[in-house]
Amino acid sequence: MKGALLLRLGIGVLAFMAVLATLLEIAREDDIDVQSIPVLTEKSDSLRAELQRCRDLGDAALNDQDCVATWIETRRRFLTPAPTSDPEE
């Protein structure tokens, strides 16, 4: 009987510590690195507008050469690794 009570008490303490650690992690304030946020340029805005136009075309976009070129450029940008800012690499 005494062992079961100690086991329940231990589990309760561990659960309390887990909840407390979770709340502390949520409440922790992290500074956002403003330099790492990408800035939209006019070129990417035109690409976005072209992607929206192709989306609105529906199935007809498959035969539109501008849409195909836009998809190729989007794929290239997505799959190309971002340059690192580390000068040692």
pLDDT tens per residue across span 1-37 = 788 899 999 999 999 999 999 998 888 876 656 566 5
Q: Specify the pTM.
A: 0.45
Question: Which structural domain range is residue 46 located in?
Answer: 2-27+39-79
Q: Is residue 53 part of a domain?
A: yes
| 61 domain residue, yes or no | yes
Q: Using CA atoms, how far apart are residues 55 and 48, in angstroms rounded to an integer?
A: 10
Residues 47-66: tens digit of each pLDDT? 889 999 999 999 999 999 99
- Number of folded domains that form the chain: 1
Alpha carbon 39 to its chain's center? 16
Domain-located, residue 87:
no
User: Which of 28, 63, 70 is CA-nearest to residue 46?
Assistant: 70
Burial class (CB in 10 A: 0-12, 13-18, 19+), 61: middle
32 inside domain: no
89 against 31, higher pLDDT: 31
pLDDT band at 40 (very low <50, low <70, confident <90, very high): low
